[in-house]
Every structure is written in C-alpha cells, then in structure tokens.
Amino acid sequence: MQVTVTDASTEHAKTPPPPPPATITFEGKYGKNPLAEASFAAMCRRLPTVLRHTARMAWSVDRPGVVLLLICQFLTGATAAIVLAFTARAMTHILGAGTVPERLHGALPSLIVVTAAAGLGRVGSAVSSYADGRITPLLTTEADIALVAAVCRVEASAFGEDGFADRQEAAEVGVTRTRLMVQDAQRFMAALIRMIAASGVITALHPLMLPLLLLAVLPAGVGAVLSARVDYETHYLNVGDRNVRSMMRWWATYSRYGDEVRANGMTGYLVYWYRALSDRIDRRTLTAAPRMLRIVLATSALGGVFLLGTWATLAWLATTGRVALPVAATAVVAVQTTLGALSQFVIHGAAMFHTSLYLADMRSFLDMAEERAPRRGELTVPEHVEEIQLDEVVYRYPGKDEPAVDGVSLTLRRGQILAVVGENGSGKSTLVKLIIGVLLADKGRVLWDGTDLAHADPDAVWKRTALVPQNFACWPLRTRENITLGQPRTHDDQPVWEAIDAVGMREAVEKLPRQLDTLLAKELWGGAELSGGQWQRLACGRALYRQTALVILDEPTSQMDPRGEHGIFGRIKAIAGERITIIVTHRLENTKIADHIVVMEEGRITEHGRYEDLIHAGGTFSDLLRLSQER
C-alpha cells in the first residue's frame, strides 16, 4: 500500500493549514480493482458461483423458508401469466362482434379466472415477502459470522499483508449487501416467470412482437448494468478511505480515548480530518453521477426508439389487415404487460448483478482468509512441556527490510523464569510471538519438547500458553468472563476468586455493584469502569487462571502500583516451578527474579546471564540500569 500525503500549505501563509488526510492508493497484489482486472464477461461468468454460494447458504439457514419462497415465486409468476392470457381472451370477447350484454357474457368466465388468479397472485406475493423476511436476517447473520470467524482464524501474519484490511472492509460491505440478495433474486425469478408467460401470449398474437419488445427493453438492462459498474468502481475507489474513516471515527469517539482527545485539544483537527475524508469520498461519488446520467439518457433514448418501432409495427399490422382489429386491441394490453415483465426482468437482473459484485468481494475475501488459515500439521505438544528450544530463529515482518528477530538461539526449561530486556523495537515482543507460535519463523525452528511449531496444530499449542500482551484487551464483558474468557465454565466461582486473589483484586471486585456479574463497560447501561492498573491486574488474573505450561508476561505491571507489582511477581515466582515463565520488561529491577536474562538489540541476543552477572558486565544491561537510576 502506498500512502501519499498531500500538504495543502502555502509558502505565504503565516501558519500552514492542517494537513489533509493521507491519500491511500492500492498497489499491492490484493489491491486491484476486480473490474479492472477481469473482463466484463469474466465477471459475469463468476456470478453463478456467487449466486450458488448464496443459495447454498440460504438453504442451510432456512430450508422451509427457501421452499416456501420458491413455491410462492412459482405461484406469483404462474398467476401473472394466467391473468395475462385470460385478459387477452376477455378482450377478444369484449372487442368482438355482438351486443354489449352478449360480449360481456362471453368475457365473464375469463374475467372470473382473471380475478381469482390476481387474488391468488397477491397472496403468493405476500407470503413470499414473509419468506424473504424470514431468510434475509438469518442469511446476513450467517455471512457476518462467517466473516468474523474467518478473520479470527487467519494466521496473525495475514494482518500485515498488503491490502488485507481493505479487502476485509470490502467484504463487510458484501455482508451488508447480502440483505438485498434474496429480494433481488426473488424479484428476478418472479419477473422471469412472468416474462416467459407473457412471451407466450405475445408470440401467439404475432411472432414479430416479442423480438421487437425485447429490443425495446434491452437498452434499459444494458444501462442498469453499466450504472452498476460505475457504482461499484466508485465504491472500490472509496474502500481505502472508508476503511480509514471508520477506524478514525472509532478512535475519535471511543470514550476511553476521550480524555486524550479533549485535554490535548485534538477535537477540532479530528473533526476537520473526518470532514476532509468524507468530502473526498463524496467528491468521488459525485463524479460518478454525470456518468450515470449519460448512461441512463442514452439507453432510455435507444429504448424509446425501439418502443416506437414496436407500436409502429403494431399499427402497420392492424392497418394492413395482417392482424384482426380485436386482436390488435388485445395486443395493446399484451404489449404493455409484456413490456412491464421484460423491464422487471432486465432491471432485477441488473440489480442481482450489482449485488453480486459486492458478494463476490465477500466471497473472495473468505477464500483468501481460508487460504491463510493455519495449515501447519497435526502434531500436538505434551501438557507439561519440559523444554522449548529456539534454533537460529529469523523473522521479518512483511514489507520490512530488516528482520525483527535475527538468528536467535535459546533454550528454556520447565521451572525456569526467563527475562527478556532491550530497548524499544529491539524485537522482544516479536520473539515472544515466535516462541508461542503466533508467528512462524521464516528461518530456523522453535521446538517444544522436540516438536517443531511449524508442523504442530496451533490450537494444541495455545492450549498450553497464557499470554499477557503489552496491549491487552479490556473486554466489555462481566468481571467473571474477563477472567475465564476462552476457558470451560466451572461449577462454582472458587477458581475465579483464586485468580482474583492472586492479583490482589478481591476488594475492588467486591466493591463493584454486582461483583463478578458486573459488566465492565461504562458505556453500557449498568456497566462499571476499572482503573488502568486494575484492568492490567485482571489481564494477569486471566493468564494465571489458565494454569498452563508456559506463561508469558509482556510488560505485565507497567500500570500497577508497587504493591500490585510486588504481589504479581511474588505470585509468578511461587508458581514458576511447574512451568516455563517468560517476562518481558523495561523495569530492570524486576529481572532479579529471573533465572536467566537475555538482552536484545536489533533482533539479536547480545548479552545473557543472571542479574548479578549482568550488572557488572559493563554492557547494555548495566547501561540501561544506570540510566533508569540516574534522575
């Protein structure tokens, strides 16, 4: 992804105006406009697959609903055909020879059939709306869940891939468009059946009529498809900006960052930035409007000319006696009806094409996510891991020139505490992610009791790990779930309270309005908020609750008071005998509890040893320690 920032400042202005938002254009492998890549015909060929997937999804969420919809579609279409055929028959009687009562009498049976069929058609259409109302929410939810599950499952490295986030954004639009799909398909099918029926009637009047009518509506269909293309292209150009805008919206309005926004005077700029981004999106959308207008005007004019031709032909057929006058009068009704059916057919066909373009984005993102789902192997790791070995491990983030971890070899044994220290950006967190297999090494191996993580089932590995990351989540869930999240439920809350005690949170939790049942989200009704340090204690409690073979704490006490920090490290030490423990920290005093310390610089281990050895070694560790004490 290429990011270009255009600065609107001028040399003469005293204070340059604030910079506009970054312009994001896509250049990566996954950032191509599908319409630019694939020919129109290729896009059309893809559509049946997309429709098949949607139909299969609808079938799996609500079979009775789909059956009902199909029956109603058939009913609506068939009754429309009957109405048309019998109207034509009634017209022949009404416009035929005889007295008025005689003609009406002759038309009566046909009129009764028309009335009954029209009534039945209305019932069918009402029930099919009901079926649509049943299927659509389930289908949208299914698509939404498929997307969320796919993103949760991908390898963590996929998030760093060029264009991944934007394709996810496009797929999310696809999810919302799923809502329209059943409606589009339903209308298209109804129009199709009606069109087939109408074609039969109109062809029976004269074989020339149908091709002429087709010509009259075809331009409208072409126009609708071309407009759909323009709309989709505009949507595609806006995907990146819309993605950034929705992220920005969340950051600017989320209550947790509200203090920072206000106290640092950011509101004005954030609103300016949001508006500038919105204006840019609107500008692109508005540029499409004249193109759309040109398409509609041109295709309507063409359609009008063809329609005129149809009427002229009908007049010619009647005046030259090629069709009888009553038949010609019937044809007027039939032409109107067939025209309506054909127009509906092409308009709803184009609408389906339009919706399918968005669904195709969703489908291709789901396929992409599926390709990036872990496929490492079936190997498992023992419950009590004795040894973790890193052998010349190298990892480079996508798009980076330098590796974040560069040839690290290390052995960790059960019962040991390892501390990892080093300056910002030296590769500590990346090393941790490699040890637990969230990232897989580009070169070298990470072995858990001899099992290479590159070939092990990641879920089996993560069952044995507990991680307190540097940026931990404050889950908007109840206190209990903030401890047990991801773990099976227990019959009582005893283990939960034990974890809460271990991080010194009992008193704070007891003071909450509904203790373990308190929703920890101030934004929601009845919710409560914790302090930063209290949240961090809960994150540590969550890791301790898991009782796993490997515990990793990345800056676990950065927001805690000395008592909290003392308590956590005491607890870690007390349980360390049963497991492998890794602590990443900038507070070098905390490394005293470690059996082994490694110092990282530019992705490499440059020093290692115990605390007492390193403070006298005259290297980076003693340097950093001195700086932390010099104030």
Ligand X SMILES: Nc1ncnc2c1ncn2[C@@H]1O[C@H](COP(=O)(O)OP(=O)(O)OP(=O)(O)O)[C@@H](O)[C@H]1O
Residues near ligand X (CB under 6 A): 160, 397, 400, 404, 422, 424-430, 470
Smallest distance from ligand X to CB 424, Å: 3
Give strand pairing partners of 550: 465, 580
Smallest distance from ligand X to CB 404, Å: 3
Element (H, E) at 385: none
Smallest distance from ligand X to CB 144, Å: 26
Torsion, Cα of 183, 189, 195, 197 (10° steps): -130
Residue closer to ligand X, measured from CB, 11 or 401: 401
CB < 8 Å & 24+ apart, contacts of 563-570:
563/504, 564/503, 564/504, 564/533, 564/537, 565/590, 567/502, 567/503, 567/504, 568/503, 568/504, 568/537, 568/540, 569/593
Residue closer to ligand X, measured from CB, 121 or 422: 422
Residue closer to ligand X, measured from CB, 113 or 624: 624
DSSP character at residue 19: P
- Report how far residue 599's alpha carbon sits from residue 606's, in angstroms, rounded to the nearest whole number: 6
- Report how far residue 151's alpha carbon sits from residue 169's, in angstroms, rounded to the nearest whole number: 12
Amino acid at 38: A
Rounded to a whole number of angstroms, the CA Rg of the chain reads 34
Q: What angle do CA 119, 181, 127 make, to 5 degrees?
A: 25
Pair of tokens at residue 617: 């070694």
For residue 397, with 0-12 CB atoms within 10 Å meaning exposed, 13-18 middle and 19 or more buried, which class applies?
middle
Pair of tokens at residue 86: 């019998």
Smallest distance from ligand X to CB 555, Å: 7
Smallest distance from ligand X to CB 258, Å: 25
Smallest distance from ligand X to CB 431, Å: 7
195-224: b or e for each residue (b if 16 or more CB lie within 10 Å)?
bebbbebbeebbebbbebbbbbbbbbbbbb
Residue closer to ligand X, measured from CB, 54 or 557: 557
Q: What strand order describes the sheet that includes 405-413?
A: 405-413, 387-395, 443-448, 451-452
What stretches of 372-398 show up as alpha helix (H) in DSSP? none
DSSP character at residue 493: S
Residue closer to ligand X, measured from CB, 338 or 465: 465
Instruction: Please report where in the chains the tokens 């005077």 appear, as a residue.
Output: 265
Smallest distance from ligand X to CB 53, Å: 32
Give strand pairing partners of 456: 379
- Report how far residue 39's alpha carbon sits from residue 137's, in angstroms, rounded to the nearest whole number: 33
Helix (H, G, I), strand (E, B) or coil at 26: coil
Residue closer to ligand X, measured from CB, 334 or 440: 440
Smallest distance from ligand X to CB 462, Å: 19
Pair of tokens at residue 547: 């009782």
Residue closer to ligand X, measured from CB, 152 or 263: 152
List Cα–Cα distances, 385 to 192, 412, 572, in angstroms.
64, 10, 18
Smallest distance from ligand X to CB 568, Å: 19
- Report how far residue 465's alpha carbon sits from residue 574's, in angstroms, rounded to the nearest whole number: 18
Smallest distance from ligand X to CB 532, Å: 17
Residue closer to ligand X, measured from CB, 240 or 422: 422
Residue closer to ligand X, measured from CB, 617 or 624: 624
Residue closer to ligand X, measured from CB, 470 or 531: 470
Smallest distance from ligand X to CB 400, Å: 5
Smallest distance from ligand X to CB 394, Å: 13
Residue 528: CB atoms within 10 A of its CB come to 15
Smallest distance from ligand X to CB 624, Å: 11
